A and B are shown apart, each in its own frame.
Chain A
């Protein structure tokens, strides 16, 4: 079984169209696998678990409604979203979960107060967890430390599906 949690920045600073496309593409790939579960966390200044890890059919309805969800408070704290997503994966862990994947999207439009580097160290310590960090901005901000920056991929519209296929 594959467990996938998406932690998506949902603020005025994030590229929402790209974020929604990322969610839709992930869903399109994951829903083909009957042994996959998907969960979604939105975040701004605080994280909002939107839907816990469930069979992908339950996520389908969410996709239609997601544009109606109000934007969350700025500035975004990606570290809190990472912690929230990990908590979801851990709380709802099933012994048959063979792969655990976490996607985090962030605009990195402002320097967060809570250390993302520390959250990443924590993510690395979780058994069997593969995490991927994407930015919806066109470049990595200068304030990102080198060791984090090298782990951040830039989301691009055209190449999303191809990229996701490699991971999932």
Chain B
């Protein structure tokens, strides 16, 4: 199939990096609401790469270092690490998870979401392209458990739009 300009180009990782960069630079930087941003990466394991901060230059630096770190996909572990870095944070807490599915390792996503729920953290999950039926069921359950949102995007434009809407939903503020 021919790729259009708006597909997740040049690859999913770069498309995600660009879109998150846009959220950090164009949206969060402008808001008067004190939003702290943290970051976690997951593959077969999960690691925090940014402790929640309002220093957006640190966020951009962490983003610029994003790369393929390993094989496998352990989204539940990603959720657990994300919730842990929010442990000491007060106020409303949200996780935006961006994934292309292929879940095959670690604590199942739906089970990990119970910890998020118990910690009053909402899971907002963005799926890149169509993911497997089994993965989709886990995503739906995780979102349901925590009162979050779920979206599937096929193109870069959709990814930007969904992330913008999600941030607007989280912060309760409209961005132009």
Residues in chain A within 8 A of chain B (CB atoms): 46, 48-52, 58, 62, 69-70, 72, 87, 91-92
When the two chains form the complex, which single residue of B107, B118, B119 contacts A72, counting CB atoms closer than 8 Å? B107
Given contacts A91-B84, A91-B87, A91-B88, contact A48 B118 (CB under 8 A): no
Please tell me if the beta carbons of A70 and B111 are within 8 angstroms of each other in the complex: yes
Closest to A46 in B: B107
Q: Which 9 A-B pairs have the closest CB atoms?
A: A51-B118, A48-B107, A49-B115, A91-B87, A46-B107, A50-B115, A70-B111, A52-B119, A52-B87
- Whether B129 is near chain A, meaning CB under 8 Å from some CB there, is no
Residues of B within 8 A of A46 (CB): 77, 106-107
Residues of B within 8 A of A52 (CB): 87, 118-119
Residues of B within 8 A of A69 (CB): 111, 114
- Whether B112 is near chain A, meaning CB under 8 Å from some CB there, is yes
**Interface size (B, Cβ < 8 Å)?**
16
Please tell me if the beta carbons of B118 and A50 are within 8 angstroms of each other in the complex: yes
Please tell me if the beta carbons of A50 and B114 are within 8 angstroms of each other in the complex: yes
Closest to B87 in A: A91
Given contacts A62-B118, A72-B107, contact A48 B88 (CB under 8 A): no
A-B contact count (CB 8 A): 36
User: Which of B84, B112, B118 is the most central at the interface, judged by chain A CB atoms within 10 Å of its CB?
Assistant: B118
**In the complex, A87→B115 CA distance in Å?**
15
Residues in chain B within 8 A of chain A (CB atoms): 76-77, 80, 83-84, 87-88, 106-108, 111-112, 114-115, 118-119
In the complex, 18 of the A-B residue pairs with CB atoms within 8 angstroms, ordered by the A residue number, are A46-B106, A48-B80, A48-B111, A48-B115, A49-B83, A49-B115, A50-B118, A51-B119, A52-B87, A52-B118, A58-B118, A62-B118, A69-B111, A70-B111, A72-B107, A87-B84, A91-B88, A92-B88
Residues of B within 8 A of A51 (CB): 115, 118-119
Known: A49-B84, A72-B107, A87-B84. 9 other contacts (CB 8 A): A46-B77, A46-B106, A46-B107, A48-B80, A48-B112, A49-B83, A49-B115, A58-B118, A92-B87
Q: Is the interface of A mostly helix, strand, loop or mixed?
A: mixed
A8 → chain B, closest Cβ, in Å? 14
A51 → chain B, closest Cβ, in Å? 4
**In the complex, A49→B119 CA distance in Å?**
10
Closest to B118 in A: A51
**In the complex, A69→B114 CA distance in Å?**
9
**In the complex, A155→B54 CA distance in Å?**
48
**In the complex, A125→B115 CA distance in Å?**
28
**In the complex, A70→B77 CA distance in Å?**
16
**In the complex, A24→B80 CA distance in Å?**
25
**In the complex, A50→B111 CA distance in Å?**
9
Closest to A92 in B: B87
**In the complex, A52→B93 CA distance in Å?**
15
Residues of B within 8 A of A49 (CB): 80, 83-84, 115
User: Which of A49, A69, A87, A92 is the most central at the interface, judged by chain B CB atoms within 10 Å of its CB?
Assistant: A49
Residues of B within 8 A of A58 (CB): 118
A70 → chain B, closest Cβ, in Å? 6
Closest to A43 in B: B107
**In the complex, A48→B118 CA distance in Å?**
12
Closest to A87 in B: B84
